[in-house]
Amino acid sequence: MLQITELTRRFGEVTAVDRVSFTVPPGLTGFVGGNGAGKTTTMRMVMGVLGIDEGEVTWQGAPITSADRRRFGYMPEERGLYPKQGVVDQLGYLGQLKGMTRAAARETVMAHLERFGLADRAKEKVEKLSLGNQQRVQIIAAVMAEPICLILDEPFSGLDPSAMDSMADLLREHTSTGVPVLFSSHQLDLVDRLCDRLVVLARGRVVAAGSSEELRSTGPSRYRLVLDGDAGWVRDLRGLHVVDVDGPTAILEVEEPGAEQALLTEALGRGAVHELSPIRPSLADIYREVTA
Amino acid sequence: MSIPEHRGPAWPIVMRRELTAKLTDKAFLIGTLGSLVILVGYFGYVTFTATKSQSYAVGVTAADRATAATLVTRAKGIDATTTITLTEVPDAAGAKAGLDDERLDAWLHQQPSGWTLTSRDGSDALATILGQAISAEVLADQATRLGTSPEELLKSTRLTQAYLIGDAEKAGLAKGVGFAFAFLFYLAALMYGITIAQSVVEEKQSRIVEIIAAAIPIRHLLAGKILGNSILALGQVLLYAVVGLVGMSLAGYGKYLGVISGPMAWFVAFFIVGFVALASLWAVAGSLASRTEDVQATSGPLTILVMLVLFSGLFATGTVREVLSFVPPTSIVAMPMRVVEGAVPISQVLLSLGLLVAFAAVTITVGERLYRRSLLKTQGRVSLRAAWSSTD
């Protein structure tokens, strides 16, 4: 398990990351936040490519060492590879830097290229590949050496839907063997769909963390009511906050537990009720709320 | 599946990549080949002109024919590559006509005051050799009359030169070789320096450096880069030097090879240490930039430094040059140039080399620190001060 405790980084006057704490247990953890929220800065500190002003990063309970990091898979924010070097050559090089033998690195690289349908472009220079393919090569660089933990900065950006699926499959393969994966993304629906947990960052601070169910349950529960006639009368009920009334439809927030039952009784007494249903807030709603 | 692991330092892996990246680069190979072609072509030309024979058609009147023939024989003994063919002309007018329509290169005729060589526009080489032939002939004639030999006659007049510094030809050669050394260093230092800086900024700009930095100590990245490029630079310079030496021996300077190979060894020693000393600074220049476009600005001071090394080697004289031959980095060029030109006590050479090694140790230590601290700063140009005082 990767644990981040009170991590802080300042750039001059600006505190980019402000006492950030969260854990990355085995499984997929989504790292969500707007531009400049501090996601990349946090990930770079975890990988040791940026100095830490305060706080610490621990791996399996002990302060992280460079030997640990050497076994991490890392994908930096801007896709970085040697543009003028062939795909196999540079992936093989990166594998060797991570401690693989030349032959083992080559073998793993070819297997991964095969999987992404890039085997026939193995000898091509990276700059000749499309951006999506460059990204596939990049993710191979991160996962090829059987990483014990994955830190991926925006791995899904710029991928087409089928590439996203194969990327997601690849990540699940690694999480299924108990590898913690932390990945950042702007795409909330994607994070919602894939992640076991998520950490929301805003202005350098953690504003929410937990499973998406946990996050959803923290907000007030909302209901949608659809009647035959006008729903204006709901404003007179106690224990409810009326968010919106539009003709026969009303959106309500329950302030006192059980108020929704009283509402139903009242509504049935007044006529037909077409719908009374809880509204599952989307992650985007929650995100807007916690980062507001 | 478990992956076979390779345990060992990372710098040889980096070094190997630097080597293969360069050795498979078409521009590099074509550049090297082009330089070799120019070098081979130059020595081919020198060899050709040195061994090319010259022939002259010289007109003589019937009266001078016999004497002229003995002169031609003597001339042959003085310079075998010059062939003089005698053609008989009826008189002065006939000789002039022969010169006019270019059948003759010159007209040789005897007058009471001596010989006259008439040509269209003067032919120094022919006049020199004929002059020597005439002196030798006259001398032999006089000696016979006095009952002695030309050698006896000239014995007490002979001026034997004893060389303290070396003879003029050797001095000229030394100068030439020194210039070649200086330029080779200049070109290699600049070319490979910029290559190192560019490759550093390429890694930085593409962020691959973050992946590498997470995998291996940055020290190893720097060491592999410097070693790889040093090997390439030295290999290329040695290649040129070997071709140059072979060319020199073919061009008839073979007797000087022994004289030059000693200084050449010193040159190589100074080159290696000097190149490594500057290479870490070039890496810093690259790491201070964030984009390829910035490299020119961050490497400006180094370019000036390398030019200073060149010019001090070429143009400094006297005491200034002696001092500069001990001061790194100007000693990289100045000391081997002094060695090739004349006797420099070995203790002085070793002292200078020792100082250069110390200088290299300093630049590597300082360079490593600056490189490590500025490499991962990817926003804009990093100032030297910021790089030095920052905490990773």
Query: CA B35: distance to chain centroid?
Result: 13
Q: Which of B100, B124, B157 is the last residue of a domain?
A: B157
In this predicted structure, what is the pLDDT of residue A84?
82
User: Is the pLDDT reported for residue B320 higher than 90?
Assistant: no
Chain B residues with beta carbon closer than 8 angstroms to that of A48: 213-214
- CB B196, CB B225: distance < 8 Å: yes
Which helix (H) or strand (E) segment holds residue A29: the answer is strand A27-33
In-domain check, residue B5: no
Question: Would you say residue B165 has pLDDT above 60?
Answer: no
Got the DSSP string for B197-256? Answer: HHHHHHHHHTTHHHHHHHHS-HHHHHHHHHHHHHHHHHHHHHHHHHHHHHHHIIIIIGGG
Domain count, chain B: 2
CA–CA distance, B352 with B328 (Å, rounded to integer) = 8
**B205 in a structural domain:** yes
B21 in any annotated domain: yes
Tokens for B322, please give them: 């002696």
Task: Tell me if B4 is assigned to some domain.
Answer: no
d(CA B269, CA B263): 10
pLDDT in tens, B89-98: 888 888 888 8
B276 in any annotated domain: yes
| Interface A-B: count of C-beta contacts within 8 A | 88
If one looks up domain A219-291 in CATH, what number appears?
3.30.70.250
pLDDT digits (tens, 9 = 90+) for A245-262: 888 999 988 888 888 888
Matching CATH number, A2-216, of 3.40.50.300, 3.30.70.330, 3.30.540.10, 3.40.50.2300: 3.40.50.300
Q: What band does B5 get if pLDDT is binned at 50, 70 and 90?
A: low
* Per-residue pLDDT at A126: 87
| Per-residue pLDDT band at B142 (split at 50, 70, 90) | confident
Residues B370, B324: Cα–Cα separation, whole Å = 27
CA distance A68 to chain B (A): 9
Q: B268 and B364 share a domain?
A: yes
The tens digit of pLDDT for each residue in B34-90 reads: 888 888 888 778 777 766 667 788 888 887 888 888 888 887 777 777 788 888 888
Query: Are B208 and B346 members of one domain?
Result: yes
Neighbouring CB atoms inside 10 A of B391's CB total: 7
* Residue in the structure block whose two tokens are 């990549």: B17
Q: Is B6 domain-assigned? A: no
B36 and B153 part of one domain: no
CATH code of the domain containing B77: 3.40.190.10
Angle at Cα B307 formed by Cα B304 and Cα B313, nearest 5°? Answer: 140
Tens digit of each residue's pLDDT (9 = 90 or more) over A98-114: 888 989 999 999 999 99
The predicted structure's pLDDT at residue A108:
92
The predicted-structure confidence for B258-288, as pLDDT tens digits, reads as follows: 767 777 788 888 888 999 999 989 988 888 8
CB contact (8 A) between residue A74 and residue B210: yes
What are A's interface residues with B at a Cβ cutoff of 8 A? 44, 47-51, 66, 69-70, 72, 74-85, 89, 93-94, 96-104, 108, 141-142, 145-146
Q: Of B134, B157, B180, at which residue does a domain stop?
A: B157
Tell me the sheet residues that pair with B114: B111
Alpha-carbon span B98 to B92, nearest angstrom? 10
d(CA A251, CA A243): 5
CA distance B30 to chain A (A): 17
Domain membership of residue B203 (yes or no) is yes
Reduced to 3 states (helix: H, G, I; strand: E, B; else coil), residue B286 is helix
Tens of pLDDT, residue by residue over A32-82, are 888 888 999 999 999 988 888 999 999 999 999 988 998 999 998 876 788
Low-confidence winner among B157-166, B252-261, B376-385 (lowest mean pLDDT)? B157-166
Domain boundary among B130, B157, B184: B157
CA distance B286 to chain A (A): 16
* A254: β partners: A240
Nearest to B20 by CA among A113, A34, A144, A93: A93
Q: CA of A247 to nearest chain B CA: how many angstroms apart?
A: 55
Residues of A in contact with B219 (CB under 8 A): none
Instruction: Give the domain ranges of chain A.
Output: 2-216, 219-291
B381 and B272 share one domain: yes
Domain membership flag for residue B68: yes
Residue B249, Cβ density class (10 Å: 0-12 exposed, 13-18 middle, ≥19 buried): middle
* Closest CB from B1, B6, B214 relative to A96: B6
The tokens describing A193, both together, are 């769909």
Are residue B95 and residue B241 in the same domain, yes or no? no
Which region among B8-17, B165-174, B345-354 has the lowest average model confidence (pLDDT)?
B165-174
Range of the domain at B356: 11-45+167-389
pLDDT tens for residues B194-219? 888 988 888 888 888 888 988 888 88
Based on the fold, state whether residues B242 and B312 are members of the same structural domain: yes
pLDDT in tens, chain A (292 residues): 999 999 999 888 889 999 999 999 999 999 988 888 899 999 999 998 888 899 999 999 999 998 899 899 999 887 678 888 889 998 999 999 988 898 999 999 999 999 888 889 888 888 898 888 888 888 899 999 889 999 999 988 878 888 888 888 989 988 999 999 999 988 888 888 888 898 988 888 998 888 877 877 766 778 899 998 888 888 888 888 888 888 899 998 888 888 888 888 888 888 889 998 888 777 777 777 777 6
Q: Coil, helix or strand for B106? A: strand
> Which pLDDT score, from 0 to 100, does residue B73 have?
82
B97 contact partners, CB below 8 Å, separation of at least 6: none
What's residue B164's pLDDT? 46
Whether residue B158 has pLDDT greater than 70: no
Q: Please indicate, yes or no, whether residues B279 and B333 belong to a single structural domain of this protein.
A: yes
**One domain for residues B103 and B191:** no
In this structure, the answer to whether residues B69 and B206 fall within a common structural domain is no
